[in-house]
Structure 1
Amino acid sequence: MRVEQLADSLSQAAVTLHGAVMRAIRKRASQGENGISHSQAQAVFALEVALRQQANQLYADAAGHTVAGLETAQRQLSGLLDTVRLRIARNDDVRHWISLATSLLHLGSAVLAGNPERILGTLGKVRERLQEMAPD
């Protein structure tokens, strides 16, 4: 996976996160106190902005970064990020959104740092977060 593709995936995850939080806000309007809290919505919006900023940084720095030496991780990364977007879109638990978005930010940071061990570690964390969201 090229760095530009990772940036695209982070941008798409931010779009999905935005859609999920807006859906939760509309749901709160119809359900009252049973929906997303104001502080949760603020946290998700902040993560959305951070994902977009990190994607922009990856785009800007793409010429100097590669996810080299991680052939297996590269092949799995695209599918993993697609799964992240689907899970956010289909899950109503804001805690999971926050956890996944935070893990994605760590992944982008590891790529920017060019640290293969950290990249693999954060990929593992993303997988763990997805398992936590797995349907029962």
Structure 2
Amino acid sequence: MANDDHPQAAAPAPAATATAAPAAASPSPAEALATAQQVEELADKLSDCADSIHARIMRDIRRHQGQDVPDPEQAAARALLEAEMELRQRANRLYGDAAACIVSSLGQPQQRLIQLTLDAADKIRRITRIGDGITLVARLLGLAAAASTGQVVPILAALERLKAQLDVVAVDNAPAAPDPSA
């Protein structure tokens, strides 16, 4: 576990997108997951989140400077490493299945979807409570799984759960208010 190299599967070449979206119902390019390219963009961001998870785990391990890592931290690190691997696998499946995962009526802008994943990657790097991190990673896995269905309702539910967890993490990591009596 002390090795900084991590198994990161090379992302498959993007699928040809010329025939991915039906010509009859061409959604607005701003609408999330409306094209294979947008699904691939989500997969890219999920892979970035997996990179953040790995970097965070390695930083936490190095913090012990060669000393024994307490059992609870080892267990949390193992769980996060397993989640990292699963997130990479799901992202890779999204690359391969991009055309099948197109959602024509999500009603969400692509930028909001991408911003949520960017926020998640940032929070993973700076999170202070390990439980928040584990739940945040679970929400990312849920989003990846929902996106692979290509169905609106599971994707919207996963987005809301991710947003709610990001809000929890923001509150838990907010600086303490100054003591008014000081």
TM-score (norm 1): 0.90
Larger RCO: 1 or 2 (CA < 8 Å, sep 6+):
1
Structure showing greater Rg: 2
- Once the two structures are overlaid, the 10-residue window that deviates more, 60-69 or 30-39, is 30-39
User: CA–CA distance in 2 between the matches of 1:33 and 1:48?
Assistant: 20
Q: Are 1:24 and 2:60 an aligned pair? A: yes
Greater Cα offset, 74-83 or 25-34 = 25-34
Does residue 60 in structure 1 map to residue 96 in structure 2? yes
- For 1:99, the aligned partner's letter is T
Contact 2:40 2:95 in 1 (8 A): yes
* Runs of 5+ unmatched residues, structure 2: 1-31, 33-37, 175-182
| Alpha-carbon distance between aligned partners in 1 of 2:70 and 2:169, rounded to the nearest angstrom | 20
Amino acid across the alignment from 1:103: R
Q: Are 1:75 and 2:108 an aligned pair? A: no
Alignment partner of 1:94 out of 130, 141, 147: 130
Q: Which runs of 5+ in 1 are unaligned?
A: none
Alpha-carbon distance change, 56 to 106 in structure 1, aligned in 2, over 3 angstroms: same
CA separation of 1:121 and 1:73: change in aligned 2, threshold 3 A: farther
Code of the residue aligned with 1:57 in structure 2: it is R
For residues 131 and 121 of structure 2, what CA distance do their matches in structure 1 show? 15
Report the CA distance between 1:34 and its aligned residue.
7.1
CA RMSD of aligned residues (A): 2.0
How far apart are 1:44 and its partner, in Å?
A: 0.4
Identity across matched positions, percent:
34
